[in-house]
Each structure stands twice: as structure tokens, then as C-alpha cells.
Amino acid sequence: MKQKGLRLALAAVGGALIGGGVFVATAQSAQADQISVSLVLKPHNAAEMAQAAYATVDPTSPNYHHYLSAGDVATQFGHTTSEIQQFKDYFSKYKLRTSVYHGNLYLRIKGNYNSMMKAFKATRTATAKSDRTSYKLPGNLQDQLVAVVGLTSKDINGGKKHQATKKKSHLKTHVEKTSDTPNTGLSNKAFSEAYGVAKFADRYQVNKLYDRGLTGTNQQIGIISGSDFNVSDVSKYLEQVGVTPNVSRIQKQYIGPKKDITNLMSSPTGRPMQFETTLDVDQAASVAPNAGVQVYIVPGMSNYVTNEAAMLNGFAYAIADNKVRQISTSYAYGNELIPDDQGESETITSYNNAYNVIFQQAAVEGITIFNASGDSGPYMEPSAKQNLSIPTSEYQVEVGGTTIPFQKITTDGQLVQNDQERAWGKLSGLTKAQIKQGIFSGSTGGFSRLNPTPKYQLGVPGVNTFNAIQHLTFKDDKYTINKNPKMISGTGSGRNVPDVAGNADADTGYAVYVSYTKTPNGDDASKTWSVAGGTSFVAPQMAAVNALMNSGLNAPIGFWNPQIYKFAQSSDSPFTPLDSITNNDNLYYTGQPGKLYNQATGLGTINFDKLYSNFGGK
């Protein structure tokens, strides 16, 4: 089975590359001195490419629903064959290999570490404020770059060795586990209604799409993942929720050293990421029961490729391959405020710009991207200042979280009750230990520091204004709850996050089944059912609904956001804004009564049957 999976992955990886055979080496275990660095190139006619993305979803444009192939992207906006050859010729002088992704906007340079440092003339400088590797290529090549991602010198200030060459950090997930165990003794229908797909489908009118006969036939859903998973776990989940466990439609594609990816599953560090990937695939496969699921797996930890480059590679490959019409991720690496600060070549700004380029390619190809916004309110990293994870691109759908009605008594006897759907922000029903820990969960939302307010958000009531409640104070690397929080109103700027929202609270969450292997530090092998929440669930759910809708339309939906912000301002909007100013915050942002947009939940929750009609469904 492993050999078969490897062949499938190699065949698919080759499909995203020009001269794809060069990728074979990276699907094996990379040699210790081998590394990979990614280059994102400036599009030719960049302004026209942005216009083209919007034109594909503008009914008044002659290019409405006229999507480009990756080859068309290369011809209209990518770099010429001769320009690409200049990169190949230069790096070949250092015995480095160059892989070109379809679209001619993305290159991967692979080879010996020392040769890589020489080719890039890499110099690492660490100060009290920053730790970065600078680089210099010949002028004709340097001028074509948006970003060099994943180049890290081990030498600091020309002679001082870096203390650890292995990355200590890893990809971040957007999931919140509970100690609850689902009742597997329920019937399939009852289990699905309590913990599975029916819970989501019934609440957001997805069941009406099923009534129309939409099941995702002939669609493929892409999942960008930082860990491997057991297909048998997904099969067990599907069977439990009453979905035919046809897992042959689920395919793994390893974008990087396979050994690094599979080894992570036997590591304590890898267990949260395995859990994350499993639930992503569960949700996509159950919501769209006849769609294929392509899981693009990048290394969660590797000496061959940095985390930032690995995530970017996963997206770039899936977009260049152009076989899926919807992509979801619940992983993040990078923060708009707080740099990773481990000597990488990319800055926060250049890393953000790199995502914008490849996501723009997705838009002109008709691919919809869904990103879990996060689970920490407006504070993705602990800080007194608000901060969001990268990417916050205008070309993706940022998916936030809500809490649906529920009532429960906690283990220490507290009654917790929620009577109507609200923004997810958990400050009630907490134990003393949880409060002391100083980490709280909620739907991530706010204002991007890196991306301006996109034109589809401009003028929408509630965008760039806000109401907020100062619930938390940050001190000594943790948050404390303010006993008398202040209400604040104000204005902001930048790309407003999220765009939409759905049930993400672990108190109203979903079931996950995961089987773990034994780890070297003594963790036993185990097979567990859990109940969990997080925006990690909502992003793949929405990607799967997109597959349902696409399966009934003549052309892919493509770039969602210009369309949905227009729909939200219509008299028959498919959105329900969560605009209450009371009991409706994400730890900070609350509702703006009468406004269409609110920073904790975006445009609000979705009636997917209405949305399908707005997209032209019959």
C-alpha cells in the first residue's frame, strides 16, 4: 500500500511541474545535506492579472466564468521560457536543480546546502530585533522576485554557528479538543445529528442541496495538510455518521520528503497535526459524499524544507496542478505581527505577497480557497497587540466561528447556556485552572496589517468600523479576564477578517476518530473518539459545500468574495449577520447592530440553499 501511494503521489506531483520528473527525489527521504528553497516570481502585467481575477466573477464582463488554464497563466502573466531558463542556467552552475510549477510564477531550487548558500550569496545577521538571511542573485534574476522562501544560513554574522539546525516550531492548527467522548451507541442518523455532517447540514440548509441531488459528483476537494493520516480512521468516521465509506476517492499527495512526513505520525509533536488532518478529511468527505478528496501533505517538521516554504509549496502545487476547484486549509505558519525569527530569507511582507501571487493564480483558474481564520480571537499569537496569521489574502475566503444554541453543566457544576447563534468567544464555564492558564478560545477576526481593504469590502456597512469589549489584559505572557470590561467603538483599516462563519465552538462541536502509533517518549498506541471544535472544522465543510454547488453548475463558482459581498447587500441575502452587541463577541470584537459586516463573524452565517441560487443554481 505504501508503494502504491508513493506512485500515485509522484504521478500527481509531476502534473504540477514542467518537467515533473525532477520531483522524484523529494518524495523519498532527502539526504541530510539536501535542502529546498522556493522562489515566487513577479507576474508580468500584474495589474491586468488582478483585473482578470475580478472579471471572472463579474457578470457584466466578457470574461465572466472564462477561467484560465495554468498554461494560459504562463502565457499571459507568467515568465517566458527564456526567463525561466536564465534561472535554470544560473543554479545549474552550482549543481542545483530547478523545478518550475505550471504558470511560470513559482520555482523550487533543490540541492546541496553549501551550494545553495553560495548560489544565493547568503548572509545571516542576527540582532536584538531580527534574525534574517539576506541573499543576492544577479540583477536580472533578483529583479524578477517577489520572495525567496526557505533559505536559512546556519552561520550567523559570518562565523557563529546557529545553535540548532532543526526547526523547533511546527505548523499551527486551528482546533480545540474537549475531554468529551461522543456516544457511539447512537444510530448513524442520531450520531450524525449530534456530532456529524447532519448537524452542519441541517443548520445551514445544506440538506436542501442534497434534496436537489447535489452530492459533489465529478468534483475534487483539495486539503492542504501538514501531517499524514490513516485513511482507515476516515472510513470508520464515515461509517459512524452514515456515509458510505468509499475511501478510494481519497488520495494522498506528498509534497516533500515522504519519510519526514510519515515519521511525524510517531512523534508526540505530530499527534495534534494528525488529528487536524484527519478531521479536515472527515468533514470534506462527509459533507460532499461523492466528491474526491486530494490531500496535499507537506512536512510539518523537516530539515529539508522550512515550515513557511512547505505550506507555500502545498498551495502552489495544488494551484499549478489545477485539478481541484476548491481548496481548504486549517493550518497556518507565519504571523502578521510576530516574525518567526529563525533566520529565514523571507520577511513578513514578502511572505504575505508570495501568497497573494499564487492565490491570484487560483482566482483566474476558477479555484475557491477557504482558510480557517483561527481560534484565539484577535490574538493568533499571545501578545498585547492584535495579530492575525498569514495569509489574509483578499483572494481567499476567511472562515470564522460561531457558537450554536446549547446548554450543559460543567464538571465543576456550572450551568452554561447559549440561546441563539453567536460569535464564538469562550469566557464562561471555565475551570479555575483554565482561567489561570490564561489562554482563551474564540473566532479569529480583525484587521489585516499587511493587506489593504479589498474593493469588494469597501462601502459595506460595518467594514472598517467596530464595536469591541476589552475582556482581556495581556501580562506576563498570558491573558487575564477583566472584571469590568470596557465597551469600545472605533474604526480600522485593512482587509477585514473573517468573511463568513459557522459553528466552531468545542461545546457544540463534532466527533473525530483517530488511531495513534506508539511514540519514542512512551506514549502508547491508542484509538480514540473525541469531540472537538475550531474553525478547522468549518473551512473544509464550506469547501465541501462549494463542491456540492459546483457539481450542479455549468461553470465553477471561482473567486467567492466579490460575489458574496454583493449578495449580502441584496434584498434576499443568503447571509444572517450576527450583529447583536450583547453576548456576541470573539473575546474582543462584538456586533454592530444593523450592520451587514461584523469583525467576529464577517457577513455572518450562510443559508447555502439561497447561496446556491445566487450563484445561478436551478
- Cβ neighbours of residue 142 closer than 8 Å, sequence gap 6 or more: 136
Q: Which residues of 348-378 are buried (b: 16+ CB within 10 A; e: fewer)?
A: beebbbbbbbbbbbbbbbbbbbbbbbbbbbb
Residue 451 CA to residue 561 CA, distance in Å, equals: 15
pLDDT per residue over 503-532, tens digit each?
Answer: 999 999 999 999 999 888 778 889 999 999
pLDDT per residue over 4-18, tens digit each?
Answer: 222 222 223 335 766
pLDDT of res. 28: 36
Do the Cβ atoms of 591 and 580 come closer than 8 Å? yes
Where residue 402 falls among pLDDT bands split at 50, 70, 90?
A: very high
Percent of the chain with pLDDT over 90: 85
What backbone phi and psi angles, to 5 degrees, belong to 200?
A: -75, -45
Strand order in the sheet with 526-533: 176-177, 526-533, 510-516
Across all residues in the chain, what is the average pLDDT? Answer: 92
The average pLDDT across 150-179 equals: 60
pLDDT of res. 2: 28
For residue 276, give the nearest of 532, 523, 547, 27 by alpha carbon: 532
- Cβ neighbours of residue 335 closer than 8 Å, sequence gap 6 or more: 348, 380, 381, 387, 388, 389, 390
Q: Which residues of 117-156 are buried (b: 16+ CB within 10 A; e: fewer)?
A: bebbebbbebeeeebbbebebeeebeebbbbbbbbbbbeb
DSSP one-letter code for 444: -
Where residue 31 falls among pLDDT bands split at 50, 70, 90?
A: low
Where residue 342 falls among pLDDT bands split at 50, 70, 90?
A: confident
Report the 10 Å Cβ neighbour count for 164: 9
Residue 230 CA to residue 297 CA, distance in Å, equals: 13
Q: Give the global pTM.
A: 0.93
pLDDT per residue over 227-246, tens digit each?
Answer: 999 999 999 999 999 999 99
What backbone phi and psi angles, to 5 degrees, belong to 608?
A: -70, -25
DSSP one-letter code for 452: P
Residue 39, classified by CB atoms within 10 Å of its CB into exposed (0-12), middle (13-18) or buried (19+), is buried
Report CA torsion sign: 593, 597, 602, 605: positive
Q: What share of the chain is helix, strand, coil (3-state, %, to 5)?
A: 30, 25, 45
The average pLDDT across 575-604 equals: 98
Do the Cβ atoms of 447 and 496 come closer than 8 Å? yes
User: Any long-range contacts for 413-417 (C-beta under 8 Å, 24+ apart)?
Assistant: 416/507
Residue 502 CA to residue 534 CA, distance in Å, equals: 10
Where residue 180 falls among pLDDT bands split at 50, 70, 90?
A: confident
